[in-house]
Amino acid sequence: MSVTLLRVAIVVVALGAWELVGRLANPLLYVPPSAALPALGRLLSLQSYPDLGEHLLLTLREIAAAYAMAIAAGLGCGAALGLNRLVGRAYGPILTALYAVPAVVWYPSLMLFFGLDAASKIAFGFLLGFFPITLAVLAGIRQVNPHLVTVARAFGASDLTVFRVVMLPAMLFTLVGGLRTGLALSVIGVIVGEVLGSKAGMGSLINHAYGLFRTADYVALVVVTLALIVGSDAVASVLERRAQRWTE
């Protein structure tokens, strides 16, 4: 209850400060919550942007494709680096160094390769989600107690049994954390890619509203996009808590 009250207090204070600043500042650039709320209602009722549903579905499809590719490539690459000690020691630092590079520097190259259609947004979302998943798999495999693996093999366990019974429970919490981070970054990558250069999607609507100084519509679109991000993270958080209980 105390945590809930503290969260409510933070939200109330933030909205109050936003309302005060929005009323005192330039109305063309700053919109208070009292003006953004009607714009949100018009947006959800499809008055300001009648094709909102199409753009939202496109963004969701791009996120799903980018995240699925990131999971497949991240699990495979992380397993290859973690299960082979020589390969992991050789390529692990390179992967970490590439992850440290700001991801936005890759986007111009992705636009040159894939154009302004959905492919470049999917590729950018994949790129952002790939690294945390791969590193989580690598870290999870490395934290498995090797003595447990040795004992399991001594009792005649096959490679699949060793992975399922010994390695997977030990690395599951780290793996789920990496999957959660990868999901959040894939969502951000797709939306940022749409903002930077796209003809459709939620990011393109945000860019359109901001470019025309439709600040109230811009804020409403950001709120809808924020709800999408928070919702995906909430689902991932539930899965992470279940994985934690299972490993305990």
The answer to pTM > 0.85 is no
Kindly state the DSSP code that residue 165 receives in the 8-state scheme: I
- Rounded Cα distance between 76 and 160, Å, is 15
Please give the chain's pLDDT, 248 residues, in tens.
677 788 788 888 887 887 787 777 777 777 777 777 888 888 778 777 788 888 888 888 888 899 899 988 888 888 777 777 777 777 777 777 777 777 777 777 777 787 777 788 888 888 888 888 888 888 877 777 777 777 777 777 776 777 777 777 777 777 888 888 888 888 888 888 888 777 777 888 888 887 777 887 888 888 888 888 888 777 777 776 776 666 55
| In the chain, domain spans | 45-247
Say which CATH superfamily domain 45-247 falls into.
MetI-like (1.10.3720.10)
Q: Which two tokens stand for residue 194?
A: 């749409």
- Rounded Cα distance between 67 and 60, Å, is 10
